[in-house]
Amino acid sequence: MNLLIIGAAGMIGRKLTARIAADGGIGDDPVESVMLHDVVTPVPPQASAVPMQTETSDLGSPGEAERLIAKRPDLIFHLAAVLSGEAETDFEKGYRVNLDNTRALFEAIRSVGDGYRPRVVFTSTIAVFGKPFPATIDDEFLSAPLTSYGSAKAMAELMLSDYSRRGYLDGIGIRLPTICVRPGLPNKAASGFYSNIIREPLNGEEAVLPVPETIRHWFASPRSATNFLVRAAAVDTALLGDRRNLSMPGLSCTVGDQIESLRRIAGERVVARIRREPDATTLRIVERWPENFNTARANSLGFVAETSFGEIIRIHIEDELNGSFVP
């Protein structure tokens, strides 16, 4: 099996690449080669059981999607996106990357013809849902986003389902919870503070909390996000029918719950590094996002996530801090 990972230089792309490099396959299927693509040059793992090449280009440039698909990858992970905060402030860029480039990819696949029908795993978002919400969003709830990011992703979800229905590709869209705790530097996602208020204090640095502690949200760890992708690549899509997009499992908690979990694990000295600095723009975005889900459909297909925020913090300490930190 030959793979193409679009958005391979991003955090989730790097985690997925490392997983494939270590496992040498997806489920029971061995991987023969991996093409890593992004607008910045991806860095393959130093040790890999699978040959990996890199491509650096803009997927939306004329002919670029066709050039990547000409090699007929069997499995495509489409992870590339402009995140929520940037998509809201740069309307044109958000739609170009999140919607137009996705259609360019799907059209490139369709144009091959000759029975070519790759599996496409598309990362969507819980931002495809907008208020008013029920207490718990189930698999039947209407997709009605209230941000440009969520709107572009919702339209891409519809395309994924339609191109799959028409037989041009075999698609599955996974709506990711907010992935926390993200490693590395802060990004332009409006949700970035959810990670910042854990990551920076554990690193001995100050973090800014721009919203009230009562804000509730839906979370999963980077480790779970990687597991979601691997499971989506292997799942029997016949079980999806024409409904090709799934909300992923996670856990619902408030910012206050996050901070209390950090306090139990790391102590008051670490928690004291969180500085309250309200920001109306950030609050306006995140308070329109979902708070809780019933993901029975995804659960029945073998997708699983953490059950406590303390578990998410411990995963971050294990995976990013070598299992320990200095309070």
How far apart CA 123 and CA 247 sit, in angstroms, is 10
Catalytic annotation on 149? yes
Classify residue 134 as exposed, middle or buried by CB count within 10 Å of its CB (0-12, 13-18, 19+). exposed
Backbone φ/ψ region at 240: left (φ over 0), alpha (ψ -120 to 50), beta: alpha
How far apart CA 38 and CA 8 sit, in angstroms, is 6
Tokens 């030959």 correspond to 2
Classify residue 92 as exposed, middle or buried by CB count within 10 Å of its CB (0-12, 13-18, 19+). exposed
Tokens 């990670």 correspond to 195
Helix (H) or strand (E) holding 155: helix 148-165
How far apart CA 34 and CA 157 sit, in angstroms, is 25
Exactly one of 149, 163, 168, 194 is catalytic; which is it? 149
Instruction: State the catalytic residues.
Output: 149
